[in-house]
Structure 1
Amino acid sequence: MKENKYDDPAFFEQYGKMNRSQKGLEGAGEWYVLKTMLPDLNGKDVLDLGCGFGWHCKYAIENGAKSVIGLDISEKMLEKAKQINSLDGIKYDNVALEDVVYPPDTFDVVFSSLTFHYIQSFEKLIQNIYQFLKPGGYLVFSVEHPIFTAEGKQDWAYNEAGEKLYWPVDDYFNEGKRQTEFLGEKVLKYHRTLSTYLNVLLKEGFKVMEIKEPVPSETMLKEVPEMKEELRRPMMLLISVQK
């Protein structure tokens, strides 16, 4: 299923107010970890799947990439990307990840930030990525952590005073659709176990290089006090693999 909430004007407006939308990579709590998992980008051909506002595309070009293609299903996202992150060497295309087709051995690096949990067939996506990566190429991506997605509502359990008690984890092994709320809208995501993420990659032939479960940096914890809640459960899973 190809869901695209981001072209809804009200939803897009709310997304534009998020810290990571306004500040770019420095506003993303996981970026200080994720960037260390990227290979050397100098002279590389890079594909960004679900590029959003294009912040990662800009980073790749500024760090020596030869070319970057940023794909996104949202026209509004790409319009914004072209306004604020349009540099020589970057090309933006309006394509759903499920429809991505490239010749074999096209890219040195495939990157994706918080997008794969919107895709129904993770296995088919990984098969495609393996084909259009060059031998020795890297896939580096982030997804919402399976502990974060399992129960479905993606919210804390509260006491009568409205205080956060714990993060509920339920139906962990029941993979599939999860209807949740994000920025005031109903959003469809897909829950997968940690073992599914890893075994799909291994089955396809990838070598696992790094797995990280990031927490906010010390600087962000000081500047954004509510970030301390992110130390209570993992929200994101970061994975780097090599063909």
Structure 2
Amino acid sequence: MQQNKYDDSGFFEKYSSMPRSVGGLEAAGEWSTFRAMLPDLRGKRVLDLGCGFGWHCRYARENQAKSVIGVDLSENMLERARTMTDDPHIEYRRLGIEDIDFAAGEFDTVISSLALHYVEDFEAICRKIHRCLDDKGSFVFSVEHPIFTALAAQDWHYNSEGEKLHWPVDNYHQEGPRQARFLDNDVVKYHRTVATQMNALIASGFTITKLSELQPTQEMLDSHPAWQEEVRRPMFLLVAAVKS
């Protein structure tokens, strides 16, 4: 079942006040790593799955992409993206990620940021992406790390004084939906192991070229002490692959 929490006015208001929603890509801690995994975008036809406010779409055009299509299920997201975009070479479409049906070889690069863990059938999406990519096209995406999604609570284990003792991991190999809390709302995320995701890419015809579990740099730790938590457990998994 597709979720569209972002068209709920209260949820969207809370999301809009998040630092990454206000500050854009530079306010997203994983951005520098994600950016380094992207191919040269000059002259490329780009598809952004789960485009949100269109930050990645605009970045692609700023880096001389030929054209960009951003898809999202939320009309609130797309309305905000259109308001923030003044570029005839960027097109936004209201469409669920599961429903994409683009022509074979229509794109050179497909990107997706923190959206695919909301999709139930990851391998089906990989096959669709492989089909719509031109030969040797790139697929770069980020998701919440399986260590982060394994338990629906997505929280630390605390002692009686409220100190964060450790991040619990359980039922790791029991894949499927997890009802988590995000911005004081229940949302369904789909937990799948690292192996399942990598094997789905390989089975769909991709060659994996780079993985990142986003280990914070000393610079990140110095500028944002909260990143110390990411040393203790990974929150993000970033993947770059090319069409074989």
The normalised TM-score by structure 2 is: 0.97
Whether 1:41 and 2:32 are equivalent positions in the alignment is no
* Equivalent pair of 1:157/1:165 in contact (CA under 8 Å): yes
Runs of 5+ in structure 2 lacking a partner? none
What residue is the counterpart of 1:178 in the other structure? Answer: 178
In the alignment, what sits opposite 2:125?
A: 125
Q: Give the AA of the match of 1:149.
A: T
**AA paired with 1:222?**
D
- Residues 101-143 of structure 1, C-alpha deviation per residue, up to 9 Å, x if partnerless? 1110100000000011000111111111111100110000000
**In structure 1, the residue corresponding to 2:210 is in which secondary structure?**
strand
Q: Secondary structure at the match of 1:40?
A: coil
Structure 1 residue matching 2:230: 3-state secondary structure: helix
217 and 132 in structure 1: CA distance in 2 versus 1, 3 angstrom threshold: same
Distance 1:2 1:238 in 2: 23
1:226 paired residue number = 226
Take 2:225 and 2:208, find their aligned partners in 1: how far apart are those partners?
A: 34
**Match for residue 3 of structure 1?**
3
Q: Using the alignment, how far apart are the partners of 2:11 and 2:219 within structure 1?
A: 29
**Contact preservation (8 Å) 1:210, 1:241:** yes
Partner of 1:50: 50
Question: Residues 221 and 228 of structure 1 are in contact (CA less than 8 Å); yes or no, is this contact kept in structure 2?
Answer: yes
The separation in 2 between residues aligned to 1:216 and 1:73, in whole angstroms, is 32
Q: 1:52 to 1:218 in 2, by over 3 A?
A: farther
Which stretch of the first structure deviates more once superposed, 147-156 or 210-219? 210-219
The runs of 5 or more residues in structure 1 that have no matched partner are: none
Distance 1:107 1:8 in 2: 32
1:75 corresponding residue in structure 2: 75
Q: How many residues align structurally?
A: 243
2:143 matches 1:143: yes
Structure-2 residue corresponding to 1:64 = 64
The structural deviation recorded for 1:226 is 1.9
Q: Which moved more, 1:149-158 or 1:190-199?
A: 149-158
Aligned position for 2:193 = 193
**Per-residue CA distance 1:136-189 (angstroms, 9 max, x = gap):** 100000000010001121111111111111111000000000010001000100
Q: For 1:10-59, what per-residue CA distance to the aligned partner results, in whole angstroms no more than 9, with x for missing partners?
A: 11111111111111000000110110110110000000000001000010
CA contact under 8 A between 1:102 and 1:132: conserved in structure 2?
yes
**Residues 44-86 of structure 1, C-alpha deviation per residue, up to 9 Å, x if partnerless?**
0000000001000010000010000000001001111111233
* Structure 2 Cα separation of the partners of residues 86 and 72 of structure 1: 18
Looking at structure 2, the residues matched to 216 and 60 of structure 1 have their Cα atoms a distance apart, in angstroms, of 25
Query: Using a 3 Å threshold, how does the CA distance of structure 1 residues 86 and 221 change in structure 2: closer, same or farther?
Result: farther
SS of residue matched to 2:6: coil
Percent of residue pairs identical: 53
- Aligned-partner residue type, residue 221 of structure 2: L
Q: By how many angstroms is 1:219 displaced?
A: 4.3
Residues 24/217 of structure 1: CA separation in 2 closer, same or farther (3 Å cut): farther
- Give the Cα–Cα distance (whole angstroms) in 2 for the partners of residues 229 and 39 of structure 1: 30
TM-score by length of structure 1 reads 0.97
Segment drifting more, 223-232 vs 77-86: 223-232
Assess, with a 3 A threshold, how the Cα gap between structure 1 residues 23 and 219 changes in structure 2: closer, same or farther. farther
**What's the CA shift for 1:217?**
4.6
CA distance in 2, matches of 1:238, 1:13: 27
